[in-house]
Amino acid sequence: MEEDKKDENEKTKRAFLGIWFDCCHTYGRLYKNKDGTAYVGRCPSCLRPVRVRIGGEGTSRRFFRGE
């Protein structure tokens, strides 16, 4: 029973990047797209779109500051 819950929780976890949006002074998340080629999202206040490519020369950082 415990293992079923654990497996179910792991399936629902989504990869994300945390980002501080300077435009509206707010925090948000960018989630990986279906293709796994980029993290995409919008500022939660002004809805400005943001896209961060995923590449071989990337970084292990998970939190960023957007301009």
Q: How far is residue 27's CA from residue 46's CA, in Å, rounded to a whole number?
A: 12
Domain count, the chain: 1
Residue 11 lies in a domain: no
Say yes or no to pLDDT of 9 above 60. no
Say yes or no to pLDDT of 11 above 90. no
Summarize pLDDT for 17-57 with one digit per residue, the tens. Answer: 999 999 999 999 999 999 999 999 999 999 999 999 998 88
Q: Is residue 29 within 8 Å of 17, Cβ to Cβ? A: yes
The gap from C-alpha 40 to its chain's centroid, in whole angstroms, comes to 7
Six-digit token string for 15:
């990869």
Residue 32 lies in a domain: yes
Give the count of beta carbons closer than 10 Å to the beta carbon of residue 40.
Answer: 15
51, 50, 54: which is closest to 37 by C-alpha? 54
Binned at pLDDT 50, 70 and 90, residue 61 comes out as confident
Residue 3 lies in a domain: no
